[in-house]
A and B are shown apart, each in its own frame.
Chain A
Amino acid sequence: MGEYDVIIIGAGFAGPVAAKKCADAGLRTLMTERSENVGEKVISGLTIPIYGFLFGPSFIRDGNPPIERPVDGIINYIIKDIEQGDMEIDDSLKIPKPFSPVYAFGYNAYCKPFCEWEARKAIEAGAELRTSTVVTDVIMEAGCVQGVITETGEKIRSRIVIDAEGSQGLVALKAGVRKRYPPETISLADVYDYEMPKDRLDEIFGFSLRFCWGWDEQRCAPPLGHGNGLMVWPYRESIHYMHDQCLRMDSANVPNLRKLLSEYHGNITSKLPWWKEDVAPHARLRAHMWEGFEIFVGLNQELRSMPNHTDGMILVGDAAGLESTELCDGVPQAWISADMAADVAIEALKANNTSRSFLSRYDKRIKAHPILQWSMSGTNRFNLRYAQQEHDLAKLRRYVHDGWGLGALAHLSTPLVKTACRHVMANPLILMKWRKMFHRYYFNWHHGRFDYSGAPAGSREGARGRKEDARFRASFRTKQILLAALTPLLWVLAMLSYPLAGTLNPAMKVLLPAIEPVYAAILRITARLAGWLSRRKVSLVVNSDPSLFEV
């Protein structure tokens, strides 16, 4: 018997999810974190995609985490000539009004407050947290992990360990479970944070992200397919700017990143028309930082097959190499895998069996999860390099459209619908929770209302002069009741749709070229009405009593 039932290494995005679930199950749970304050070493340009919130841990879905801005679309700029300001725009991926912006496809967040919020939930559930604690190795006895060893040599014993250390994964390396990733699979993300007044952000960015893709000779973004172009995320009163580049190129050269990344930043901020005109006059640089992440690990079969568990230990999130190759995002995968790992840990301790063969059910669940598998295997970002090498504009347009335009539906539809069906089949009432979540998150964002005291906006709950619309309250409740009444029907619908979901991606591939122009025309024709409805919806939501949206 260990001092603890479970030790979780790392309190980033994944660790606290596992810790909370284990503590909720009554396990003696310890979470270690190498930094002094949770989240202060976590760096990202961060839109957390919506599938993390929908299909991830219930306490995040049903809670009030600190978010910076809902996201309803991506504007892609294909820069053909930065000197002339010559570029093409693909802004086809957008949640249409009137659904947007209350219904979002992701939420932007600062890492530190979000991780702290998560960790606090884990502590409230009974988990212990030890900060300023570096775990350097595991206690290996009788071929099984039996706890951890810290840098001071202290041994802390537990019945099982969940490793949520992050992408470098030094503990798993030391334990001989995994190998160091080759540099061509690692990207260095160079991140700038600019303060900017909220009204300017609302006007210029609204709820859209801006991505820029440029030819190598433009010297304004990293070479296509070797990381990202430039990405700009609007937050509440700031923007995050990130470009990232792989540590080794196809040519086997290691680029001079210090010189290149600073050159790209200089060119973008001095030459890109919308940056010069719309952003620069209002933005003030607040922070510059960087982090490496395992961008293309999922595309390498050998790396992808490295173990994500061993006797007595389960790896989650970035430590298990679960970064999305396409969206360049690891948070939903961190949440979903940590949730699964906690389930498996609880089952293992109940069965008193933490052997590798018992824990292999974790690997099976990871491999059976449509979203996790899709996120590991998207190739658009990687394939951009072929457009680059051939300098083929048509190819570049296609990859951008298929990755971050409406063409993404030909890749996304099957995993999203499959996962949604699974959740509805397990509990159809989840639809009511999802609906409440979108409304609550928008309300919270608008009013800066988070159950977290350290959130940058602070709590501004009880916004002045709110006048709730009684009809909206009645109609919101009626629709919730209707959803509940339709539960058996929705369950049947999910059961019937699930086996057919596999055909959605191929069907989208065939049909999208025909659907897209029609869809665009409908959006154009209905734009005024949809805009009015969207504004009305926002006004009703932000003036409501937030208890309406609580679960």
Chain B
Amino acid sequence: MGMKGKTARVSEKFPGVEWVEGTGSFITVDTQRCTGCGNCMKVCLADCYEVAGGKARIKGLDLCMECGSCWYVCAEEAIAFTWPKGGTGFRTRWG
């Protein structure tokens, strides 16, 4: 997209958006608290979650758009949500 700065990944699934590497694990699931309800999986448009063995698991944050929906819907407060490292994560010029 010709934006200045670090190189970034793109995805055919979501055009017009780039993801800069090096985010760190900015969203984590506390498996002790997780009840496996799957709400996080249902609201994540980037399909970052799966539920396996009765627990939610982050498959990968590659396409995460940092909306926080998974964190909002987690009634057990099992999901910790922070921001990716400064200057990393998603970016777009079409917002």
Contact = CB atoms under 8 A, between A and B. Distances in A.
Nearest to A286: B16
B73 interface: yes
Contacts of B94: 110, 112, 193, 238, 286-287, 289
B92 A35 contact: no
A181 B69 CA distance: 11
A191 B15 contact: no
Contacts of A256: 42
Contacts of A150: 86
B53 interface: no
Interface residues of A, number: 49
A131 B95 contact: no
Contacts of A134: 83-86
B68 A168 contact: yes
Interface string A19-53: 00000000000000011110111111000000000
Interface string A113-157: 100000000000000000111101000000000000011000000
A176 to B, nearest CB: 15
B29 interface: no
A498 to B, nearest CB: 38
Nearest to B91: A40
A287 B86 CA distance: 23
Interface string B54-80: 000000000001111101110000000
Contact of A151 (B4, B39, B86, B90): B86
A34 B86 contact: yes
Interface string A298-336: 000000000000000000000000000000000000000
Interface size class of B (residues with CB under 8 A): 35 or more
Contacts of B95: 39-44, 110-112, 191, 289, 291
A391 interface: no
Contacts of B16: 193, 286-289
Contacts of A183: 69, 72-73
A34 B69 contact: no
Contacts, number: 135
A328 to B, nearest CB: 15
Nearest to A132: B87
Contacts of B14: 287-289
A357 B70 CA distance: 36
A417 interface: no
A133 B86 contact: yes
Contacts of A44: 95
Given A36-B6, A37-B4, A286 B67 contact: no
Contact of A291 (B42, B43, B67, B84): B67
Contacts of A111: 95
B28 to A, nearest CB: 14
A188 B15 contact: no
A232 interface: no
A170 interface: yes
A464 interface: no
A421 to B, nearest CB: 35
Nearest to A185: B72
A254 interface: yes
Given A170-B83, A257-B42, A287-B16, A35 B73 contact: no
Interface of B: 3-6, 14-17, 20, 39, 42-45, 47, 65-69, 71-73, 81-87, 89-95
10 contacts: A41-B90, A44-B95, A112-B93, A133-B86, A188-B67, A247-B43, A248-B73, A288-B14, A288-B15, A290-B45
Which 8 residue pairs spanning A and B have beta carbons closest together?
A: A287-B16, A132-B87, A43-B95, A287-B94, A132-B86, A36-B87, A40-B91, A193-B94
Given A36-B20, A110-B94, A180-B71, 15 more contacts: A34-B87, A35-B89, A41-B95, A112-B93, A132-B86, A151-B85, A168-B68, A170-B81, A191-B95, A247-B69, A257-B42, A261-B45, A288-B15, A291-B95, A292-B67
